[in-house]
Amino acid sequence: MAIVARREKRAPRPGFVVLREVGAGEWQLVGEAERRPGLSARAARSQAILDATGGTARAGEVYAAVLRSEWRVALDWAPPAG
């Protein structure tokens, strides 16, 4: 008798890709952070920045927290045909 293991595909948990501006128009990947349930969109982004930086983000620094799902969509690019 053969035992067959099935791997269930689970939807990825909501989260953010966090970037920090290091120069005019230059961005550095800081890391990823899970979305905390129960927070408003703005509060969730702020929390993601704090989580990804280990709490070291300070006022005056410029960060961006992009939804992981949007990050994947942004990477799905193909040149125009023709």
Place 80 in a pLDDT band, splitting at 50, 70 and 90.
confident
Q: Taking 60 as the threshold, does the pLDDT of residue 1 lie above it?
A: no
| DSSP 8-class letter at 35 | P
Q: Does the predicted model carry a pTM greater than 0.85?
A: no
Q: What does the pLDDT look like over 21-49, one tens digit per residue?
A: 999 989 999 999 999 999 999 999 999 99
CA distances from 22 to 25, 26, 29, 36 (A): 8, 6, 10, 26
Share of the chain above pLDDT 70, in %: 85
Cβ neighbours for 65, distance < 8 A, ≥ 6 positions apart? 16, 17, 18, 19, 33, 44, 45, 46, 48, 49, 52
